[in-house]
Amino acid sequence: MTKRSGILFAVGATVAGLVTAAPSPATADIGAQRAVSLKWTDCATKSSPTLQCSSVRTPLDHDNPSGREISLALTRVPHTSKTFQGPLLVNPGGPGGSGLSMAGFVAASLPKAVAAQYDVIGFDPRGVGKSRPALDCVPKYSDPVRPDSVPRSLRDEQVNRNRARFFAAACGKKYPDLLPYMDTVSAAKDLDVIRRAAGAPKLNYLGYSYGTYLGSVYAKLFPDRVRRLVLDSNVDPTGIWYDDNISQDYAFDARHKAFAAWVAKYHGTYGLGSDPAKVEAAWYRMRDAVRKHPAGKKVGASELDDTFLPGGYYNGYWPVLAEAFAGYVNHKDEKALVKAYERFGAVDAEGDNGYSVYTAVQCRDAQWPRDWNVWRSDAWRVHDKAPLMAWSNTWYNAPCADWPVEPLNPVRVANHGLPPVLLFQATDDGATPYEGGVTLHRELRGSSLVVEQGGGNHGVTLGGNACLDKFLTDYLAKGTVPRGKGADVDAVCAKTPDPKPATGKAGKAASRTGAESRGSALHGMLGFRN
């Protein structure tokens, strides 16, 4: 699961509830039969000079294909090779992430000879971005300064509880006709509408984060329509969605400790100490200070959490975050924190849309506890050992405790009828912990799992690791996957090295160059959740 700052899952205990099998492919195909051929128009950009745009109509309710339609926005970089392998749909995760910019990025990042063999297609899922209608339940819901996520009294807790209830009620009042159809199964059926409109008998797909679950559900619904399937940074399909967040909270806390250790390694640069534990303690003292007196009247405790969360997704952000951290602690530089917040943590209209879709899909996809005592107990239990995101995670998902639409049951994605599927997973991923990749590998019989040993970034292919990208390229070019002797891992790549501090003119220039690198570009697009 991927998220922009603050976009996390609730922590939790086991939720009682059935896990159902997916609808039959025959039923799932009803809506797809209505799609027509796509009409592409030029929408070139400087970085994607051959980019084209289109849209496709899809049933709001796939079980009622003659009813209301909605539209999905699409982009495409068309193939140029005589060898044509069909459409390659790409998804950056979420739910709630826009995929329109992914087409140009993926086409430019793959070797030219491989990209030329595919129509690389990006899309905004239902409710997202330029698709219509687009959701925005409560504009400016995350504007600063918000209440501290960690309650110090029952009154504090009730303030955030009321905010979450208000958000759920506002969504229900504003979109009563849409919310019943904001779910992963509906989104997966939309993929098949796109496939049919593109005139392809089978689909190629590359999904990151939540996109791995979307792809797995599509494969369950339409196993005979899967040609090549790449899943990067994998959601644990057995924990949708409440249980997945226990391991996620612990994993993000571990990534924060890794950040503190990196800062301690460069004590000579940042002056925050050479003991990782003391650096981490200094961060929490900073958090307490801005809780009492928000930096620049904009960055309180919750905004600070949002600012540093992206560092758990991508260590390329560590130098900038460390400078802001050191500036505040050593020099009381509030402007540095505000600048970092505006870059990494602030939520704009796109973020409002993303969070609205996130909650709509997550709350509809699966059962969540309705007893608030369960949420409270779990949040404090996790907070005791992994305090970084336990409570902010809880509040991010708290609307699901009062969601106005009854939940579905998660799809059991176990699949024995697919061609070889290629999975990628970093061992220290915070957003989708390693165990999820191993679980999905076991669920998808015949799949191949490539591991980035020691890697902590979320989203690892096309991010600068040549070893990982070679496996991806071979698969897209020839359909080949590695086969290891072990049960869980088929191939291992060394991690991409951690960044260096970006100080001085030369360092800052290198940092600006790095911001344009594939790694930075990729993680900018993966900024919206799961």
pLDDT digits over 263-285, tens only?
999 999 999 999 999 999 999 99
- Residue 212's nearest CA partner among 460, 488, 44, 403 is 460
| 54, 458, 490, 511: the active-site residue | 458
177/180 Cα distance (integer angstroms): 7
- Residue 88's nearest CA partner among 490, 518, 472 is 472
Nearest 5°: phi and psi at 20?
Answer: -100, 160
DSSP 185-237: HHHHHHHHHHHHHTT-SSEEEEEETHHHHHHHHHHHH-GGGEEEEEEES---T
Q: Is 165 exposed, middle or buried (0-12, 13-18, 19+ CB in 10 A)?
A: middle
Q: What are the residues facing 230 on neighbouring strands?
A: 206, 422
List the alpha helices (DSSP H) in 222-348. Answer: 244-265, 267-270, 276-292, 301-308, 310-313, 318-331, 334-340
Whole-number pLDDT of residue 528: 45
Active-site residue flag, 209? yes
Q: Is 514 helix (H, G, I), strand (E, B) or coil?
A: helix
pTM: 0.93
| 5, 54, 186, 209: the active-site residue | 209
Whether the CB-CB separation of 440 and 235 falls below 8 Å is answered with: yes
- Local confidence pLDDT in tens for the 530 residues of the chain: 654 443 333 333 323 333 344 454 444 444 444 546 899 999 999 999 999 999 999 999 999 999 999 999 999 999 999 999 999 999 999 999 999 999 999 999 999 999 999 999 999 999 999 999 999 999 999 999 999 999 999 999 999 999 999 999 999 999 999 999 999 999 999 999 999 999 999 999 999 999 999 999 999 999 999 999 999 999 999 999 999 988 899 999 999 999 999 999 999 999 999 999 999 999 999 999 999 999 999 999 999 999 999 999 999 999 999 999 999 999 999 999 999 999 999 999 999 999 999 999 999 999 999 999 999 999 999 999 999 999 999 999 999 999 999 999 999 999 999 999 999 999 999 999 999 999 999 999 999 999 999 999 999 999 999 999 999 999 999 999 999 987 799 999 999 999 999 876 545 544 544 434 778 889 888 864 33
Place of tokens 């739910």: 95
Reading the block at residue 100, the tokens are 């329109």
Whether the CB-CB separation of 109 and 462 falls below 8 Å is answered with: yes
| 429, 441, 490, 511: the active-site residue | 429
- Going edge to edge, which strands form the sheet with 491-494? 41-42, 52-59, 69-77, 119-123, 87-91, 203-208, 226-232, 421-426, 448-453, 491-494
Please tell me the total number of residues recorded for the chain in this structure.
530
Residue 366 is given by DSSP the state S
- Tell whether the torsion through CA atoms of 63, 66, 70 and 72 is positive or negative: positive
Whole-number pLDDT of residue 1: 62
Cβ contacts of 200 within 8 Å, gap of 6 or more:
86, 87
Q: Is 446 helix (H, G, I), strand (E, B) or coil?
A: coil
Active-site residue flag, 378? no
Summary count for the chain: helices (H), strands (E): 20, 10
Active-site residue flag, 458? yes
List the alpha helices (DSSP H) in 12-67. Answer: 25-28
Whole-number pLDDT of residue 245: 85
